[in-house]
Amino acid sequence: MTEPSPDLPLAAPVLRPAPERLRAPSWADPDARPEPGQRCAVCWGRWFWCEATEPRRGWRCSCCHPPPGTLAVEEIGTSAAPSAMTAEAGAAMAEAQITTRSP
């Protein structure tokens, strides 16, 4: 019973963001901008915002911590470029197939 059955379907690996791509729903460093491909670790959202003017208090997920309507904000979407996403998803799938397939 220690060997996994090769017949069991595995959860699709591409649905879950890679751990290194997850960011906290908020962080205090305004200079640590969210980068393409990163997502909120809580809701997997792709939009983050920060005050547009001083005092800039850091970045927040636009879904978990929506910006107040009274504030000028800078908002960044982190959707990766389609070509980069495709290559990465392809590599992830290839790797998953190698590690999960039984001969």
Residue 58 binds to Zn ion (criterion: CB under 5 A): no
Out of 45, 51, 74, 96, point to the residue binding Zn ion (CB under 5 A).
45
d(CA 32, CA 58): 8
**5 HSE (CA, 13 A, CB side):** 4
Out of 14, 64, 85, 96, point to the residue binding Zn ion (CB under 5 A).
64
d(CA 65, CA 25): 8
Q: Cβ of residue 11: shortest distance to Zn ion, in angstroms?
A: 22
Contact residues for Zn ion, defined by CB under 5 A = 25, 40, 42-43, 45, 61, 63-64
